[in-house]
Amino acid sequence: MVEDGLRRVIGDGASVPDGRVDGLADTDLLELHRQLVLLRTYDERSLVYHRQGRIGTYAIFWNHEAMQAGAVHALEDEDWIFPSYRESAIGLLRGMPASTILSWWRGHPAGWWNPADYNVASICVPIGTHVPHAAGLAWGKKLRGESACALVFFGDGATSEGSFHEGANFAAVMDAPLILFCNNNQWAISTPLEAQTHAEALADKAVGYGMPGVRVDGGDVLAVYEATREAVERARAGSGPTFIEAVSYRAAPHATADDPRAYIDLDRVEEEKRNECVGRYEAYLRRLGVLDDATAEEIKNEALETMRQGITAAEAEPEPDPELVFDNAYVLPPPNLREGWDA
């Protein structure tokens, strides 16, 4: 189901015509497809690896790929990305090996990357606590006179958190070059959007912070790209932050530990699956004549090979030292911890 009043570029192949985004050549369009397929393949393989006991609990992002690839495509490599667990594989789009992210989900230290190597912050599991971090980093870039900006991903549920408010307000007051990117998948685990907020739209919250709020179809990778590109331009021009609400619908369980049949509208899920974002974009490219069977096959195989190599490399990592769990947890470890350890 496609909600009304959302910004959209991709048509439906019937009554709604396809649009084009200025400045995107066919090679850019194909690159976007490659990124979508890489993310989709990462996600689908991860679910299998979880079922096989090869990674731990995993936050599925099936049908969130357009929001992730579209937003990141509008950034330069110097710009920082602050992911939540829902965007765990976003580093792939910055050249991070799949094995690193798979190691993260295996609870292995090989999954701890240095954020400065990719300008990708650590995956944030506490809801919304990374919004002030992103605001601070963006403000720092401005203070140093650098052109880079930051983009922070969070969910609809995060907009009810104090840290979202603090980060958004701070970024606006400081005119920080920040893009607040809300993946509104309409669920916070089993809490539906209507129990989350009485606001008509999450983007309306932006008014209270004195920043623009825009709503896009989160399943339309080109609409997401275009809206993010405009927000990045504003940020670089010194005009401050933008709030982007990308509207979608969670068509998969919250995570591998969740069974949404207890609460979700299953008909709506089926409808969303039929209109999922990777297939929508693929159909668009085929209508444009930019993608053919052979290229589609090659892109898919390349992604599958990346995943095969990734899981092999992650599983080849030596067993970690269990003491590492405590190494960076305490400046002064409690004496009883040490006693328990030695015993």
Ligand X SMILES: Cc1ncc(C[n+]2csc(CCOP(=O)(O)OP(=O)(O)O)c2C)c(N)n1
CA distance 164 to 196: 14
Count of residues engaged in binding ligand X, rule: CB under 6 A: 15
Using CB under 6 A, which of the segments 6-14, 94-102, 148-156, 314-322 binds ligand X?
148-156
CA distance 154 to 164: 9
Count of residues engaged in binding Mg ion, rule: CB under 5 A: 5
CA distance 28 to 42: 21
Residue of 70, 111, 157, 177 interacting with ligand X (CB under 6 A) = 157
CA distance 270 to 55: 27
Nearest to 241 by CA among 130, 150, 144: 150
**Letter for the amino acid at 180?**
L
Q: Which of residues 186-245 bind Mg ion (CB under 5 A)?
A: 187-188
Q: Applying CB under 6 A, does 86 fall inside the site for ligand X? A: yes
Q: Applying CB under 5 A, does 155 fall inside the site for Mg ion? A: yes
Q: Applying CB under 6 A, does 258 fall inside the site for ligand X? A: no
Residue of 16, 26, 51, 125 interacting with ligand X (CB under 6 A) = 125
In the complex, what is the shortest distance from the CB of residue 60 to ligand X, in angstroms, rounded to a whole number?
Answer: 10
DSSP string, 14-39: SSSPP---TT--HHHHHHHHHHHHHH
List, by residue number, the catalytic residues.
250, 254, 263
Q: Applying CB under 5 A, does 253 fall inside the site for Mg ion? A: no
- Taking the CB of residue 290, how many other CB atoms lie within 10 A of it? 15
Residue 127 binding result from Mg ion, ligand X, none, given CB thresholds of 5 to 8 Å by partner type: ligand X
Using CB under 6 A, which of the segments 50-58, 121-129, 171-179, 224-232 binds ligand X?
121-129
Give the CA count within 13 Å in the CB-facing half-sphere of 68: 32
Q: Which residues form the interface with ligand X (CB under 6 A)?
A: 86, 125-127, 154-158, 183, 185, 187-189, 254
Q: Which residues form the interface with Mg ion (CB under 5 A)?
A: 155-156, 185, 187-188
